[in-house]
Amino acid sequence: MLCDLASGKEGICVFAYLCNDGVINTNGTAILDLRYMDVCKDYFLKCCSKESPCMETAGTCVPKKQCTADLNASKYKEFKESDECDWNGYQCCPNDQTTTTLKPSLEGKKCFLNNGVCTPPTDCKGIKYNDRRRECGGLVCCDSPIPETTTVTTTATTTTTKTATTSTTSPGRQPTTQKPDIDTERPDDRTCDSLGGTCVADRDCQRKADQQSVDCAVDTVCCLSKRPTDVPTVSVDDLDIKECGYRNEDGIKFKTINRNDGEAQYGEFPWVVAILLADSGKVKLRCAGTLIDPEIVLTTAECIKEYKRKPEQLIIRAGEWDMAATMEPISPQERRVVKMKIHEKFNPHSLVNNIALLFLDDKFDLTPTINTVCLPPQDFTIDNGYVIATGWGTTPQNRTKYQHILKSMELPYRQKSDCELILKRATRNNRFKLDSSFICAGGEFGQDTCQGDAGSPIIFPIPDTSDLRYYAVGMVSWGVGCGRPGIPSVNTDIGMFREWIDSKIDEEQLHMHYYDFQPQD
């Protein structure tokens, strides 16, 4: 299927692991994270440029009309005879003999029945309509692009600049009333029905949706179904605060049944935190992380790397369970990120060394639903058994909708040597090597981590303990598809980074007390 790149060039939808740095991968040298979507509107696909390298990178596959070289000349004979570009009808052209022809820009064009404007993705600060008719090419259909304002310089010349609003949400102990933007059918498609509500008069609504919808009339609001109001409140003082790694397998104060979508119990995994992005007054789920200290979160570098210069845009919410509810027995808490440390050898293309630490503006108050996990010793290994994965991401059964309630699943641990052989076949790349910074789990049909689960912890029972406690042994990183039988997902191996974690925390003059497992006498 053809698609339009944001640059205006023509692309082709391919499996994401075949798209390397935005250009189609014809030699199988890379594999990329599949936990995100783009304009192909399909979890498995990515819009990728067809202009791949040829003639051992001396040339590029381009449309024939963009090649200015005289291919009849003897020095270009090998380029003319090359068949490396035949698959897409392009010509292998010397790199210094190509011209670029872009499609006319669609920026500013009306779209979605004149309700939106075609806008570069980074300039949209409002609702992004689902551009099913492809009216905007590689742009997005936006109801509120960054406004253009006219300013006058000292030389009396007029320039047009973009102005943007910034979030003024202040840090606080209790969470904002706004829930993160996770319950849409797709990130760009916010109808009231997709939010789980109905358009009704404001006076008739008991609880409004936290997000705007695109289809409710001016005099109505998107109203969510009435939720039970008899959830018991809990006094934190009545419950014990334990050390790291204790799982509340039966939940806190109540236990849910009929968990058809693999929902975790309330407070079952008290170390799982939601990493939220505050942008222009809205809060969106970015990924997840693991609480290892009341003021430190462990997550994947891929998830947060673009906010390194503005870490305060990230909010950590601990004690969260149901993203669509505001009546949980123990209120979640929020803290702002003030500093992050990304592994010095993190590779954003291969996701090798995909690990980072987030330091917060204040400590979380530990409760039965907010606590730390234990970390394994350096080079900890698993012989066999099952690990437990968590997250609010999509599922193999529904890859277009995030979970409201934190999910959990048991996945079989896969030895690295076996996983490498499987991934060689899955990626059609005999040169693929599984880096030592990864571990694998899963491969059972319908059971897998998916889009939106990045950074979520993978836990394993601490061996030889009298009471059941857990190590966080991995973090969700990438995979080839989601829930494909026989193909495990790939996770950051926390056991490879214990010494790195300790050193970075020591640099901040903090201690490992909260995540260091000490056997009970």
Q: What is the pLDDT of residue 194?
A: 64
Beta bridge partners of 336: 315
For residues 382 and 496, what is the distance between their CA atoms, to the nearest angstrom?
Answer: 12
CB-based burial label for 64 (10 Å; 0-12, 13-18, 19+): exposed
pLDDT at 170 over 50: no
Q: What is the pLDDT of residue 231?
A: 38
pLDDT at 40 over 90: no
Q: What is the pLDDT of residue 521?
A: 59
Task: Place 257 in a pLDDT band, splitting at 50, 70 and 90.
Answer: low
227-to-181, 207, 208 alpha-carbon distances in Å = 19, 9, 12
For residues 197 and 220, what is the distance between their CA atoms, to the nearest angstrom?
Answer: 12
Task: Place 169 in a pLDDT band, splitting at 50, 70 and 90.
Answer: very low
DSSP letters of 309-330? Answer: S-GGGEEEEES--BTT-S--SS
Q: Looking at 159-163, 432-436, 488-492, which range is the least confident one?
A: 159-163
Model pLDDT for residues 315-372, shown as the tens digit of each residue: 999 999 888 777 778 889 999 999 999 999 999 888 999 999 999 999 999 999 999 9
Model pLDDT for residues 102-160, shown as the tens digit of each residue: 456 678 888 766 778 888 877 777 666 666 566 787 677 887 666 544 333 333 333 33
224-to-9, 64, 205, 305, 317 alpha-carbon distances in Å = 42, 55, 8, 35, 23
User: Which of the residue ranges 61-65, 446-450, 501-505 has the most confident prediction, judged by mean pLDDT?
Assistant: 501-505
Cβ-defined contacts of 181-184 (< 8 Å, 24+): 181/210, 181/211, 181/282, 181/283, 181/284, 181/285, 182/284, 182/285, 182/323, 182/392, 182/402, 182/404, 182/452, 183/211, 183/323, 183/324, 183/401, 183/402, 183/404, 184/211, 184/401, 184/402
Q: How many residues does the chain have?
A: 521
Residue bearing the bigger pLDDT, 452 or 226: 452
Residue bearing the bigger pLDDT, 368 or 21: 368
Is 496 in a helix, a strand, or coil?
A: helix
Beta bridge partners of 492: 438, 475
The pLDDT mean for the chain works out to 78
Is 81 in a helix, a strand, or coil?
A: helix
Q: What is the pLDDT of residue 129?
A: 67
Q: What is the pLDDT of residue 437?
A: 95
For residues 301 and 356, what is the distance between their CA atoms, to the nearest angstrom?
Answer: 5
Is 89 in a helix, a strand, or coil?
A: coil
pLDDT at 217 over 70: no
For residues 493 and 471, what is the distance between their CA atoms, to the nearest angstrom?
Answer: 12
DSSP 305: G
pTM of the predicted model, to two decimals?
A: 0.60
pLDDT at 456 over 90: yes
Beta bridge partners of 164: none
Is 375 in a helix, a strand, or coil?
A: strand
